[in-house]
Amino acid sequence: MNQFIRNLFDSQALLTDEEWDLFTSKLEHKTFKKGDTVLRDGEIENYLSFIVKGSIRLLVYNDKMDEISIGFSSEKTFCSSYSSFIMQRPSKVCIQALEDLEVLRVSYMNLQDLYACSHTGERLGRINAEMYLCHKEEREIMLLTMSASERYMQLLENNPKLLNLVKLEHIATYLGITPQSLSRIRRSISLSPVIS
């Protein structure tokens, strides 16, 4: 997996062997069980994690303390309560393991040290922050311009195993619809004739 991360980074900006060794020396390996809370709201996010195995759900609570899913991440992607991590303020986001989870993570302080020691590392941080921002913008556009059915189909296309991991009510909150609306969408899709 370390080689996968290096290949990912090298596709963005080449690290020297010394920079790579420094980076890997700062990584921590951590595991969580299915259902574990990785981060609670109110805690400060101290880690930027790379998912080696498993999936997570990011959620927030509304004023009625209902859970609202705001994102999902799976293997070979980064995850964090990013604004809490960057600002070092209490998180409004909770992170939950949807299945047994294995991550490689770097602490906020270690990442700042890496940025100070390596211009390439700092560039990689900027590139990945920009990608995160693009992803957030795409989600906003999806919520504002696509129908609920289109949002559901896109979610299935991008993450087909999600239905096996997440309760339908959590998928509904992610899509910005009620569980009843999601049930109707799923029914209409299953009843649609297959065009060949």
Query: Would you state the torsion angle of the CA atoms of residues 64, 57, 127, 9, taken in this order, to the nearest 10 degrees?
Result: 160
| Domain end among 140, 155, 173 | 140
- 196 inside domain: no
Tally Cβ neighbours within 10 Å of residue 24.
13
pLDDT by position in tens, the chain (length 196): 678 787 877 788 777 888 888 888 999 999 999 999 999 999 999 999 999 999 999 999 998 888 999 999 988 888 999 999 999 999 999 999 999 999 999 999 999 998 998 888 888 888 888 988 998 899 899 889 999 999 999 888 888 888 888 888 999 999 999 999 999 998 888 765 554 4
Whole domain around residue 48: which residue ranges? 2-140
pTM: 0.85
In the chain, % of residues over pLDDT 70:
96
For residues 114 and 79, state if they share a domain. Answer: yes
- 175 inside domain: yes
For residues 68 and 101, state if they share a domain. Answer: yes
- 186 inside domain: yes
CATH of the domain at 25: 2.60.120.10
The domain tally of the chain equals 2
- 41 inside domain: yes
| Domain end among 123, 140, 157 | 140
For residues 95 and 123, state if they share a domain. Answer: yes
For residues 64 and 159, state if they share a domain. Answer: no
| Domain end among 140, 166, 181 | 140
| Structure token digits, residue 33 | 């069980």
Chain segment 133-146, per-residue pLDDT in tens:
998 899 899 889 99
pLDDT for residue 196 = 45
pLDDT for residue 193 = 56
**How far apart, in whole angstroms, are the C-alpha atoms of residue 171 and residue 189?**
16
